[in-house]
A and B are shown apart, each in its own frame.
Chain A
Amino acid sequence: MPLIQMQELNKKYNSGKVSVEALKDINVDVEENEFIAIVGPSGSGKSTLMNIMGCLDAPSSGDYILDGAKVSDLKPNRLADIRNRKIGFVFQNFNLLPYASAYENVELPLIFGGIGPKRRKSRVMELLDRVGLADRAEHKPTELSGGEMQRVAIARALANNPAIILADEPTGNLDSVAGGSIMEIFHELHRDGATLIVITHDRQIANNIPRVIKLKDGLVVDSL
């Protein structure tokens, strides 16, 4: 059974009298340990699709099945738990808490997941070590470079061993060197068995990713 099943997924936005169809009849399956790039012009519905996959937004109609659970039926608390345990987010603008250190940022999903302090500590250090930032644990986001911030965000996304990692333009705010090292980490994670979905504008990045889904005007126009 696929890790993710999307069946006849629609998303409409109603702003006043005008209703915009952001996604139209999406049918996509994602298997475990797939590495997928979602590409398409802006306004094509990439982010909307990612938000629905990440349980941050609900589809207007259709079914979204994640790891066997029909997400559209779930209550807010169950959705929060799914976001916490099964999904790891990486955002274009990092979305780190500005007042918290790298350590505290990585710790957050573990706190929300109810992990005890001792296990949290070793887990946070292990994660920071994995993204090569063990020596930056006490630094605030403002004291880190863009690439370092995004690596903290990746460590945070990995905290609870999620079933899937969703990254929305993870290199969009980075220079090519920093962006390259972020993609290197994603490829490593893929080799280690992770399932990843990345939105990108960058053709070169997409070319290195095994499967590419192309969206246009809310429709899947090309799925390899």
Chain B
Amino acid sequence: MNGERNETALALHRKLSEIWGTPPGLGKLSAVNHTAVGLRFIVTSGIFFAIGGLLAMLIRAQLATSASPFMEEGLYSQVFTMHGTIMMFLFAIPLIEGFAIYLLPKLLGARDLAFPRLTAFGYWCYLFGGLMLIGALAAGVAPDAGWFMYTPLSSSIHSPGINSDVWLLGVTFVEISAVCAAVEIVVSILKLRAPGMSLARMPILAWYMLVVAGMMLFAFPPLILGSILLEVERAFGLPFFDPERGGDPLLWQHLFWLFGHPEVYIIFLPAAGVLSTLIPVFAGRPLIGYGAVVAAIIAMAFLSFGLWVHHMYMVGISHLAMAFFSAASALVAVPTAIQIFSWLATLTYGRPRFNVPMLYVFGFFFVFVIGGLTGVMLAMIPFDKQAHDTHFVVAHLHYVLIGGFVFPMLAAAYYWMPHMTGRFPVQHLSRAAFWLIFVGFNVTFLVMHLTGLLGMPRRVHTYAAEAGWDTLNLVSSIGGFVMTFGFALVLLDFVLQYRYGRAFPRNPWKAATLEWAMPLPPPVYNFASLPSVDRRADRIAPKEIGAHLAAGRGYLGFARNGQMETLGVSITSGRLEQLIILPNNTFLPLWTALGTASFFLAMLAKLYWAVPIAMLLVLFCALGWTRVTGSQADRGALPVGAGEEAPPHAECSGAPSWWAMVFTLASNATLYASLLFGGLFLWTSAPGWPAEEPPGMSLSLSALTAGMIAAGGVMGAAAVRRAGQGPRALLLASAAAHLAATLLLGWMALNGVPDRTGHALSAVCFAVLFYAGFHTALAAVFALYGAWRDATGLVSQRRNLDLRIGRLWHLYTAVTGVLGVAFVHLLIAMGSAGGAS
């Protein structure tokens, strides 16, 4: 009987491997599987970490003594700018993405993420954007205005070379990857779980990643907008940040830190999720205060968006506004403390096993608590004014980021390495590596608090011997090199584990989460059949359930038509809802990313004539993605195993792609709100207002434009009701209205705002109209695409997903377009009337 079962399991394994497997050779570049792409993210971020680390060593070599002739000032600026940029944008965020991409489907009981091709596209954007930045470093034209890219230092008048352009374009390119990953993660967590896994049963790490991905959706758009505006100012002279023409450098600081502070929590929370996962495993008991921790991370996410101005205390903000931000900065310690007490309580009431991952957990506690305390100190305005822009701040941020991110992620690496490699650690070097990192880190940065308190400013390439900072700096530098040896030893330890670790088939840590209920290293399809979850998903028995699933006795324990299938559930209850059919391996993400790269390279090389061609290329590639989606006939409910049936996702109202559009538009709306905020901010605060020659807009033309935008949106949205009964006429009319609106908006932007470089008022009006025009043009594409899908028989009353996704875009375009036209008139009225400035 057992032999028969094994044979069945083996046959199933072969079939699923054939369907889900990655092709050999160059075909590997077509892989969209989450395990392959997740590991690529992780390894690539590790390489960037090594480069960023080497730059840190150069910084420490330069600062070791006051008489160091190691680097001249300009080169030093490039090195410290790239160190920060690499660590934040090319290491920390992508590592989180890779970690989530690799792990989430396995934790949630799914075979892949919701949009495998988007995952792969995100990876290529990350890689190409990162290579742009590293290439500039190798060519000696790396960004050199600090990783905050503050204006006016980064403006063309003070940074005339391409250094700042490299940052603005390269980082924006990488951020596309982050936003893609955020949409992917949110939708996958909400929709692609094992049946029965309600929200309240999710493993705690999934909660952390859900909150973090949600934060990414809202935190990245302000920086993307800021980068676009600054690049437009540098390339075309529109003065958003130039105080002599109605702009304001503080607008950049607001947009940057609206991203920058949540970013700290975006980095910290996944690491905290790791701790909330590991500590219960090694304490041998479930996490204490699961509900309180969920509440704490949600509170933390919101509070983190209310503290960005604490980076700007010195710029001259009113006492009341500073009090808002100072209070929120102090308050964020409360949800952090809830998590820390939850971990301590879990350890106290459990029977802790002390292992290498736990060493890093204790490293985290020691380092992060110090970083948190100095953070509370800096949140207090009087202290911040003393320590502002000194090495005290540098020490604080490293305690928070290395303590709150690197130590937990090293714990995660040691914990999940057996999962990735199928081998258990040798661990002869692990403890030595930990102590070198721990001691080296504290020697470097504990001392740096004192250097800062003695007044040493950050970002200086040298200092006077009389300042008396030599000894402290030398100690910091020695500590830095000790820490580097520690990281080198960790790398060697991983190589040894991969090469010589003993094979371990399943669950070496006696964990109780689903990712251990599979053979190690994991097969490409994760689970031979999908589980049903009847309890909280950190209390399962991987050994028993693993054997059950491997024998194909769960959901989808078969292969059907060579399709890559997984299951979708309702968001809250986890009830089985849909059969999700995923696309196979394809080179399209790579081609699309190359098209996107050509856009950014054309911008960098100032070949502006090539930019529209690159955009069309991207659109062409993106449309190519739809060739394999859709069906010519309604299929209705299909068997999914365990005696149950579910309809294909294209026939469900809550299909993942519908939700993806919802979250994409939410992110897009944040960018738009930031743009409108920018206009209002300049009106309230920038010098040089009111404008002497404001733009003139015809009211009747504006009304016609707004009417056309609304008509296009309404007709496009109404087409859904006609699905299956001939929606084409409405869609074509919608496309015509959108195209007319695009032309009208173009006319308004070019003729109503003739002098776009003269004053920020004109520049903002132009940007708002451009935004609206870009959206109406894309809305026309959506309408035409819907009509084409209908003409080719891919739309019916049941199969109306394409039209429903389009409806979301149409409605968004209508609302933002009409609002934009009204805003332009309002801003012109306010910005040309008398005022205090």
* A, B: real partners: no
